[in-house]
Amino acid sequence: MKNSLNTIAVLVLLIFAPLAQQAQTITCSSLCVTLIANDSINNGVAVSVSIADSGFINYPYVHQILDQSNNVIGTGSMFFFGQFGTTTQIYPATSTNTNWNNFVGTVVFVFDNDTCYLPYPCPTASTPEIENEESFTLSPNPATDLITIQTQNDLNSATIEILTIDGRTVQIMNMVRGNRIDIPTDQLPNGAYFLRIMDEEKFLKSERFVISR
């Protein structure tokens, strides 16, 4: 009986050891705050955090947003149970600041037993470049069964994602070209969403919109 229990314990360790090792690959240097924007639907702030490496982090959240003088201008609390590596997730926070267009500061991001001080805008050369605030427009907003994106310049090989307010991707389009794109939304339930575009490794502005029928 004792030998059987020892065998089971070894098997459990062998199964879970690769997962623990994978989770350890994610460090603060793997993280990048790609966007901070007002979330008018929820009267708060949306903070997008990308992870460059593979793995998984547990119980991540935005603890604080600091300005250049290290004054606390925003706070958050635990919202997600985790985030996978090589993904971007949108974290909620509250703040008295309403203009993030030229904001420079720090996001204090917590996960597992780590506290990361992430500069914004993200300085890492390998992270997506953030284009200017007028990169695209989205209409109508609120929408019903269709939204239209109008970009300043033609998209060459873009990926368009629609995400829920808690960061889940619910619709995706790949290899998009042109400067006017119609996206059907008739399968999306009423509620608030984010739309974002990646084009040739450049991250264009995220836009919030509402489905209301």
CATH topology of domain 28-120: Immunoglobulin-like (2.60.40)
Contact 63, 108 (CB under 8 A): yes
The full set of domain ranges for the chain reads 28-120, 129-211
Q: pLDDT per residue over 82-136, tens digit each? A: 888 888 899 999 998 888 988 888 899 999 888 888 888 886 534 444 444 446 7
Contact 147, 171 (CB under 8 A): no
SS3 191: strand
- What pLDDT is recorded for position 210? 85
- What pLDDT is recorded for position 132? 43
- What pLDDT is recorded for position 23? 42
Phi, psi of 163 (to 5 degrees): -125, 150
**C-alpha radius of gyration, the chain, whole number:** 20
Show the tokens assigned to 66. Answer: 């600091």
| Cα distances (Å, whole numbers) of residue 54 to 4, 13, 103, 113, 119 | 35, 21, 29, 18, 21
Contact 62, 76 (CB under 8 A): yes
Return the ∠ at Cα 98 (arms to 192 and 38), rounded to 5°. 20
Whole-angstrom distance between the N-terminal and C-terminal Cα of the chain?
63
- Residue 5 CA from chain centroid, whole number: 43
CATH of 129-211 given 3.30.2040.10, 2.60.40.10, 3.40.50.720, 3.40.50.2000: 2.60.40.10
Question: b/e per residue, 77-88, with b = 16+ CB within 10 A?
Answer: eebbeebebeeb
- Residue 71 CA from chain centroid, whole number: 24
d(C-alpha 66, C-alpha 48), whole Å: 15
- What pLDDT is recorded for position 93? 94
- What pLDDT is recorded for position 46? 92
Do the domains 28-120 and 129-211 sit in the same CATH topology, yes or no?
A: yes
- What pLDDT is recorded for position 81? 85
- Residue 15 CA from chain centroid, whole number: 30
| Average confidence (pLDDT) per 10 residues, the chain, 213 residues | 45 40 67 88 86 89 89 88 88 90 88 88 54 67 92 86 74 91 93 78 70 88
